[in-house]
């Protein structure tokens, strides 16, 4: 029995037997806008943000939404209006922040491979901080800043070497990852940064991984970071802010990450106990702000029963929902019509898309009682779905709707064929 409200997704629920996002019935949205269709709950995004804001009440803290999780302008605008800054990883993301009305002074720029052009654009926009990931990047940033007669504000991303206990592709704070500066090299790297005239050291940064569901890796990383701050300051280099990155997980399949406010109560207690409670804090949450605020509606095209495996072929695919193909990720899949839910003992199907790849699957061995023409919702699709989507197989990228109560705002139109062909030329 599918409960009428879905775990971890209070604004996505069944009413009158039909799945709704807030007060909008999804079947009507799918009929009006077509499928596949992403639908997000504004209240759910703001609730997720509020958990962090409660956690930081009375503190000097800045929440920088890690926008690679979902970088659609309407989503950025919502977070900008709610006071967020942004964690960006490219010049394109900076342009999106500016187009959405975000404050460049609240932007931090992460990533191992910033180009000189991206550094220039970010300096000219007046971003708050560059999170520098290598000694070579320090030197280049120094040169670029001097050429503009500017000083670049920098943090160094350190690699605290803690195991976040998550999927290897989304674990980033262990030795052997491409990210950050090794723990042992940190002090020397800070001394180098402080000696360069085009740089101004403002903080320290880490980000240990994604979809983290335990507190221990965070508490361990915090201890290691504070040890480093003490050592760097003892060498005469003040650290104005401490950035703990993002990575807090969400409930995809019975996962039980700590709530953001409860996690931060423990982290702040540790900061206080170690005498760093007054320090400015920054965080870079992505998935935990948007992941469970979104679903993707898809229509069943064909049922294809087989001797070994049966398939439910739907009109969404790996180009829309890349996480299963990329990380064997699990998304819950439910019918829009509550009466079409599978009863115990129902036959199981692999839910697959039309793309010509065996990796194009959305769910394995799912009990289903739907037929062609019925609609399904792929849950927990607000993060790392649309922002990772592509036009593979010349499929149009899906439309996106942001729901606010009874109102449904189209925040991105489905690609037209002209969108797909723009920029291409015949010989």
Ligand X SMILES: *Cc1c(COP(=O)(O)O)cnc(C)c1O
How far apart are the C-alpha atoms of 143 and 137, rounded to whole Å? 10
Q: Is 247 in the site for ligand X (CB under 6 A)?
A: yes
Catalytic residue among 129, 206, 312, 356: 356
**Residue 238 CA, distance from chain mean position:** 31
168: number of CA atoms within 13 Å, CB side? 2
71-90 footprint of ligand X as x/- string (CB under 6 A): ----------------x---
Query: What distance in Å separates the CA atoms of residue 398 and residue 37, rounded to the nearest whole number?
Result: 6
* One of 12, 21, 46, 66 touching ligand X (CB under 6 A): 66
Closer residue to ligand X in complex, CB, 91/245: 245
Q: Which stretch binds ligand X (CB under 6 A): 66-74, 187-195, 316-324, 418-426?
A: 66-74
Q: Is 8 in the site for ligand X (CB under 6 A)?
A: no
List 85, 173, 257, 286, residue binding ligand X (CB under 6 A): 286
**Closer to ligand X at the Cβ: 244 or 276?**
244
Whether 380 contacts 362, CB under 8 Å: no
Q: In the window 255-284, what residues touch ligand X (CB under 6 A)?
A: 284
Q: Out of 110, 134, 189, 380, which residue is the one contacting ligand X (CB under 6 A)?
A: 110
Non-local CB neighbours of 252 within 8 Å, separated by 6+ positions:
211, 291, 329, 330, 331, 332, 380
Among 20, 207, 366, 397, binds ligand X (CB under 6 A): 207
Which one of residues 36, 102, 173, 246 is an interface residue with ligand X (CB under 6 A)? Answer: 246
In the list 161, 288, 292, 380, the residue contacting ligand X (rule: CB under 6 A) is 288
32: Cβ contacts below 8 Å, ≥ 6 apart: none
Number of neighbouring beta carbons within 10 Å of residue 393: 14
CB of 286 to ligand X, least distance (A): 3
Residue range at the interface with ligand X (CB under 6 A); choices 78-86, 286-294, 308-316, 352-360: 286-294
* Rg from Cα positions in the chain: 23
22 binds ligand X, rule: CB under 6 A: no
Site string for ligand X, 302-321 (x = CB under 6 A): --------------------
Closest approach, Cβ 246 to ligand X, in A, equals: 3
3-state SS, 335-363, equals: ECEHHHCCCCCCCEEEEECCCCCCCCEEE
User: How far is the C-alpha of 145 from the C-alpha of 137, rounded, in Å?
Assistant: 12
- Cβ-closest position to ligand X: 286
By CB under 6 A, residue 180 contacts ligand X: no
Of 91, 203, 285, 324, the residue at the interface with ligand X (CB under 6 A) is: 285
296 is catalytic: no
What sign for the dihedral angle of Cα 87, 89, 94, 99?
Answer: negative
Q: 25-33 long-range CB contacts below 8 Å, 24 or more apart?
A: 26/295, 26/297, 26/336, 26/375, 26/377, 27/336, 27/337, 27/375, 29/297, 29/401, 29/408, 30/297, 30/299, 30/336, 30/375, 33/399, 33/401, 33/410, 33/414
Query: To the nearest whole angstrom, how small is the minimum distance from the Cβ of residue 65 to ligand X?
Result: 9
Q: Does 366 bind ligand X (CB under 6 A)?
A: no
Q: Identify whether the C-beta of residue 129 lies closer than 8 Å to the C-beta of residue 202.
A: yes
Closer CB to ligand X, residue 170 or residue 336?
A: 170
**Is residue 241 within the footprint of ligand X (CB under 6 A)?**
no
| CB 157 to ligand X: min, Å | 7
Supply the minimum distance, in Å, between the C-beta of residue 198 and ligand X. 23
Identify the sign of the CA torsion 112, 100, 38, 284.
positive
Q: How many whole angstroms from its chain centre is CA 330?
A: 16
Q: To the nearest whole angstrom, how small is the minimum distance from the Cβ of residue 78 to ligand X? A: 17
Among positions 20, 96, 224, 287, the unique one binding ligand X when judged by CB under 6 A: 287
Q: Taking the CA of residue 60 as centre, how many other CA atoms within 13 Å lie in the half-sphere pointing to its CB?
A: 9
Six token digits for residue 139: 């030197």
Residue of 24, 61, 69, 325 that binds ligand X (CB under 6 A): 69
Q: What number of other Cβ atoms are within 10 A of residue 12's Cβ?
A: 26
Residues forming the site for ligand X (CB under 6 A): 66, 68-69, 87, 110, 207, 210, 245-248, 284-288
Catalytic residues: 356
């Amino acid at each position: 029995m599918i409960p009428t409200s879905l775990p971890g997704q209070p604004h996505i629920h069944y009413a009158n037997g039909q799945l709704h996002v807030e007060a909008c019935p999804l079947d009507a949205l799918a009929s009006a806008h077509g499928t596949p269709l992403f639908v997000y709950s504004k209240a759910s995004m703001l609730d997720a943000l509020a958990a962090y804001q409660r956690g930081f009440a009375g503190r000097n803290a800045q929440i920088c939404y890690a926008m690679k999780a979902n970088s659609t302008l309407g989503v950025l605008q919502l977070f900008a209006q709610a006071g967020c800054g942004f964690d960006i990883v490219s010049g394109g993301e900076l342009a999106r922040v500016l187009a959405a009305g975000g404050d460049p002074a609240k932007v931090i720029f992460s990533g191992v491979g910033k180009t000189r052009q991206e550094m220039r654009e970010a300096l000219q926009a007046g971003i708050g901080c560059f999170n520098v990931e290598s000694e070579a990047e320090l030197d280049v940033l120094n040169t670029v800043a001097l050429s503009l007669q500017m000083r670049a504000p920098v943090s160094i991303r350190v690699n605290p070497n803690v195991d976040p206990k998550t999927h290897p592709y989304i674990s980033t704070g262990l030795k052997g990852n491409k990210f950050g500066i090794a723990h042992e090299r940190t002090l020397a790297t800070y001394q180098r940064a402080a000696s360069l005239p085009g740089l101004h050291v403002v903080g320290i940064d880490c980000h240990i991984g994604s979809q983290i569901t335990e507190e221990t890796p965070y508490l361990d990383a915090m201890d290691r970071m504070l040890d480093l701050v003490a050592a760097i300051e003892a060498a005469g280099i003040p650290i104005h802010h401490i950035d703990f990155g993002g990575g807090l997980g969400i409930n995809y399949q019975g996962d039980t990450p700590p709530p953001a406010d409860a996690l931060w109560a423990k982290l702040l207690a540790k900061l206080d106990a170690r005498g760093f409670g007054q320090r400015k804090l920054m965080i870079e949450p992505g998935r935990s702000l948007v992941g469970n605020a979104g679903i993707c509606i898809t229509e069943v095209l064909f049922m294809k029963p087989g001797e070994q495996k049966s398939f439910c072929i739907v009109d969404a695919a790996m180009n829309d929902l890349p996480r299963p193909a990329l990380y064997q990720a699990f998304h819950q899949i439910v019918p829009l019509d509550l009466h079409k839910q599978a009863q115990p003992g129902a036959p199981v199907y692999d839910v697959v898309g039309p793309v010509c790849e065996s990796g194009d699957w959305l769910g394995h061995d799912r009990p289903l009682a739907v037929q062609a023409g019925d609609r399904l919702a792929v849950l927990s699709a607000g993060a790392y779905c649309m922002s990772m989507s592509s036009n593979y197989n010349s499929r149009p990228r899906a439309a996106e709707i942001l729901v606010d109560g009874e109102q449904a705002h189209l925040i991105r139109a489905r690609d037209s064929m002209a969108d797909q062909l723009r920029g291409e030329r015949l010989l």
